[in-house]
Amino acid sequence: MPDHTHTHGHDGRHEYDYVVIGGGTAGSVIASRLTENPDVTVALVEGGPSDVGREDVLTLRRWMGLLGGELDYDYPTTEQPRGNSHIRHSRARVLGGCSSHNTLIAFKPLPSDFDEWEAAGAKGWGAVPMEAYFARLKNNIVPVDERDRNAIARDFVDAAQTALGVPRIEGFNRGPFTEGAGFFDLAYHPEGNKRSSASVAYLHPVMDERANLTLLLETWAYRLELDGTRAEGVHVRTKDGEEILLRARREVVLCAGAVDSPRLLLHSGIGPGQDLERLGIPVVHDLPGVGENLLDHPESVIVWETEGPIPENSAMDSDAGLFVRRDPEGPGPDLMFHFYQIPFTDNPERLGYERPPHGVSMTPNIPKPRSRGRLYLTSADPSVKPALDFRYFTDEDDYDARTLVDGIRIAREIARTEPLAGWLKREVCPGPDVTGDEELSEYARKVAHTVYHPAGTCRMGSADDRLAVVDPELRIRGLDGIRVADASVFPTMTAVNPMIGVLMVGEKAADLIGGEA
Ligand SMILES: Cc1cc2nc3c(=O)[nH]c(=O)nc-3n(C[C@H](O)[C@H](O)[C@H](O)COP(=O)(O)OP(=O)(O)OC[C@H]3O[C@@H](n4cnc5c(N)ncnc54)[C@H](O)[C@@H]3O)c2cc1C
């Protein structure tokens, strides 16, 4: 691979047309698309190393081995009085970002998700215009391959269908759905179980060839450079500790994800003025919404011991799932389950439960959670991790907690139904004696985990929305020459897993930027 890391402008300055901060899920798409035009130069700043040749990253089924390791920023949450304070938010530090260590479950957001964005002020982001961006995606999105379909996961799908009367879905992206059970679509190459991440699909084919694309790996962006209201570039620290200013002739595109995009803005003096002043950070632009609207998909877990070991084959150990619509008037599903072919007891163990030698789990989650959290700084030192207060289970009507209680009850119905029932020896946690609403809620919240979907912290919205951070063209309100494009711009949470939505944000951002240029 040629060394891309020391390309300077012809006058010796580090100057490019575009500086993209974060070579993750959205950033990979944008850098790749912008450099299709050979006259455009792009610097892509990525905090982590390349994923090229790294089997630990590129092999999908090894995803769990990456959690908490050297490629994980591993963000803690603040104390969660109503939930689980021990959750660690994994965020990838490697080219491709979270698409290089996630499970690559691939759902086009539902029409109701995009229409909700449009209604929330994201003009032009409705389901109909967004369709074109799904069609453009370069990732290999395919249903879980036959060889990876584990017998117990097949039986889960059958049992869910029988117990609940929901349809079986073969190809969740073929059309909109409100309920159904089936194997997921994944962004992977079944042959060899290889990822089709944002970096594999968008950067690997071009990164050695495009002279106009400069990759700065293991390079950390710590402060934006502004001249008045115009973003001029970004200050970065390279792997060797060198501090340089990368200048953007046209635009800075911030793609550091739902945690690190607001974090960088706050450290650059862009955010709620009073908070910044309190920390001694000079306020450059008072923008109260930065870090607000922290969204996630919380989930709980119910675990069974199986009669014996289950077959080995799988794409990534959570290949099938279920969507339920409890509210028949609702626009889409309001309860989702992943089915794990492993006993996922990490959180229950803290309450004294034991991990069975072999088992399975169902993880009910809340597609449209109502609790809203907040990300904020606790120090002016850019190396201190920001505080993530998800305020899990704090919504007024207790909708979020009730959803998980419903989830546990529905999971038990499925477990009682053949052909799944015959596999299961006993319910390990919460255990068959835990049946009342209060007890179930307490259990569900204390073992709650995250589906790892933080979003919304630089939300897109209309001009009269005080807490909107970017406009529908993704430009930071009140500034020039800078956009945000990643999961942080989601106005609301998608009912489905968000990665494809993030890739589509990347495609649309490239379109908006290219169109303007
Ligand atoms: C374990 C796990 C499993 C998941 N499973 C799924 C799934 O199956 N399906 C699904 O739809 N979604 C899944 N998700 C969520 C999905 O992966 C994310 O929502 C999505 O990838 C986020 O994309 P992004 O572009 O916003 O951020 P990221 O992909 O996180 O990209 C941000 C990039 O910016 C870099 N960066 C950050 N700050 C700086 C800085 N200051 N300087 C330089 N570089 C910086 C990071 O290194 C990273 O590469 C999962 C997430 C995790 C963590």
Domain range annotation of the chain? 12-53+90-140+195-297+376-385+453-517
Per-residue 3-state assignment (H helix, E strand, C coil) for 187-221: EEECCCCEECCHHHHHHCCCCCCCCCEEEECCCEE
Could you tell me the pTM of the whole model? 0.97
ipTM of predicted assembly, 2 dp: 0.99
**According to the annotation, is 94 in a ligand binding site?**
yes
Task: Bin 57: left if φ > 0, else alpha if -120 < ψ < 50, else beta.
Answer: alpha
- 336 CB under 6 A from ligand 1? no
- 109 CB under 6 A from ligand 1? no
Closest by CA to 134, choosing from 183, 90, 94, 172, is 172
Nearest ligand 1 atom to alpha carbon 103: 8
In whole angstroms, give the CA distance from residue 80 to residue 332.
Answer: 28
Residue nearest to atom 2 of ligand 1 (CA): 102
- Give me the residues paired with residue 43 across strands: 19, 214
Cβ atoms 282, 269 nearer than 8 A = yes
DSSP H or E run through 304: strand 302-306
Query: What CATH number does domain 12-53+90-140+195-297+376-385+453-517 carry, 3.40.109.10, 3.50.50.60, 1.10.10.10, 2.60.40.10?
Result: 3.50.50.60
Question: Which tens digits make up the pLDDT trace of 220-234?
Answer: 999 999 999 999 999
Question: Which tens digits make up the pLDDT trace of 167-214?
Answer: 999 999 999 999 999 999 999 999 999 999 999 999 999 999 999 999
Over 90: is that where the pLDDT of 11 sits?
A: no
| Residue 186 CB-half CA count within 13 A | 29
Question: Which tens digits make up the pLDDT trace of 291-315?
Answer: 999 999 999 999 999 999 999 999 9
Q: Is 453 a catalytic residue?
A: yes
- Using DSSP's 3-state secondary structure scheme, residue 231 falls into strand
- 216 CB under 6 A from ligand 1? no
- Contacts (Cβ under 8 Å, ≥6 apart) of 512: 473, 474, 483
Q: What percentage of the chain reaches a pLDDT higher than 70?
A: 98
In whole angstroms, give the CA distance from residue 167 to residue 181.
Answer: 6
By the 10 Å C-beta count (0-12 exposed, 13-18 middle, 19+ buried), 146 is classed as: exposed
Nearest ligand 1 atom to alpha carbon 258: 26
CA dihedral 164, 176, 168, 161 (to 10 degrees): -10
- 29 CB under 6 A from ligand 1? no
Over 60: is that where the pLDDT of 1 sits?
A: no
- DSSP string spanning 70-93? TTB--EE----TTS-TT-EE--B-
Distances (CA, A) of 485 to 156, 335, 513: 37, 28, 11
Q: How many helices (H) and strands (E) does the chain have?
A: 11, 24
Distance spanning both ends of the chain, measured CA to CA? 30
DSSP H or E run through 441: helix 437-446
**Ligand 1: distance of its center to the CA of 462 in Å?**
26
Over 90: is that where the pLDDT of 515 sits?
A: no
Cβ atoms 67, 113 nearer than 8 A = no
In whole angstroms, give the CA distance from residue 387 to residue 79.
Answer: 10
**pLDDT, mean of residues 366-372:** 98
Nearest ligand 1 atom to alpha carbon 264: 41
In whole angstroms, give the CA distance from residue 189 to residue 192.
Answer: 7
**pLDDT, mean of residues 320-346:** 97
Task: Bin 55: left if φ > 0, else alpha if -120 < ψ < 50, else beta.
Answer: alpha
- 102 CB under 6 A from ligand 1? yes
**Ligand 1: distance of its center to the CA of 346 in Å?**
22
Nearest ligand 1 atom to alpha carbon 104: 8
Closest by CA to 484, choosing from 508, 458, 503, 464, is 458
- Using DSSP's 3-state secondary structure scheme, residue 401 falls into helix
**Ligand 1: distance of its center to the CA of 260 in Å?**
10
Cβ atoms 452, 25 nearer than 8 A = no
Residue nearest to atom 3 of ligand 1 (CA): 102
Q: Which of 50, 102, 173, 505 to mutate to test the pocket of ligand 1 (most atoms within 8 A of CB)?
A: 102
pLDDT score of 13? 79
In whole angstroms, give the CA distance from residue 165 to residue 464.
Answer: 44
By the 10 Å C-beta count (0-12 exposed, 13-18 middle, 19+ buried), 227 is classed as: exposed
**Ligand 1: distance of its center to the CA of 26 in Å?**
8
Nearest ligand 1 atom to alpha carbon 89: 53
| Residue 464 CB-half CA count within 13 A | 2
Residue nearest to atom 31 of ligand 1 (CA): 24
* Helices (H), ranges, 205-317: 257-267, 273-279
Give residue 154's identity as a one-letter amino acid code: R
- 298 CB under 6 A from ligand 1? no
In whole angstroms, give the CA distance from residue 372 to residue 4.
Answer: 41
pLDDT score of 516? 79
In whole angstroms, give the CA distance from residue 253 to residue 269.
Answer: 17
Q: Which of 139, 265, 488, 499 to mutate to test the pocket of ligand 1 (most atoms within 8 A of CB)?
A: 499
**pLDDT, mean of residues 421-427:** 98
Question: Which tens digits make up the pLDDT trace of 94-113?
Answer: 999 999 999 999 999 999 99
- 91 CB under 6 A from ligand 1? yes
**pLDDT, mean of residues 472-486:** 98
- 499 CB under 6 A from ligand 1? yes
Q: Which of 204, 338, 449, 453 is catalytic?
A: 453
Over 80: is that where the pLDDT of 9 sits?
A: no
pLDDT score of 471? 98
pLDDT score of 12? 58
- 494 CB under 6 A from ligand 1? no
**Ligand 1: distance of its center to the CA of 424 in Å?**
35
pLDDT score of 10? 46
Residue 8: pLDDT band with limits 50, 70, 90: very low
Closest by CA to 420, choosing from 362, 366, 478, is 362
- 46 CB under 6 A from ligand 1? yes
- 267 CB under 6 A from ligand 1? no
Evaluate the omega torsion of the peptide bond into residue 430 and state whether it is cis, within 30 degrees of 0: yes
Nearest ligand 1 atom to alpha carbon 48: 47
Mean pLDDT, the chain, whole residue set: 96
Residue with tokens 């020896």: 425
**Ligand 1: distance of its center to the CA of 176 in Å?**
25
**Ligand 1: distance of its center to the CA of 488 in Å?**
10
| Residue 465 CB-half CA count within 13 A | 22
Residue nearest to atom 17 of ligand 1 (CA): 98
**Ligand 1: distance of its center to the CA of 13 in Å?**
30
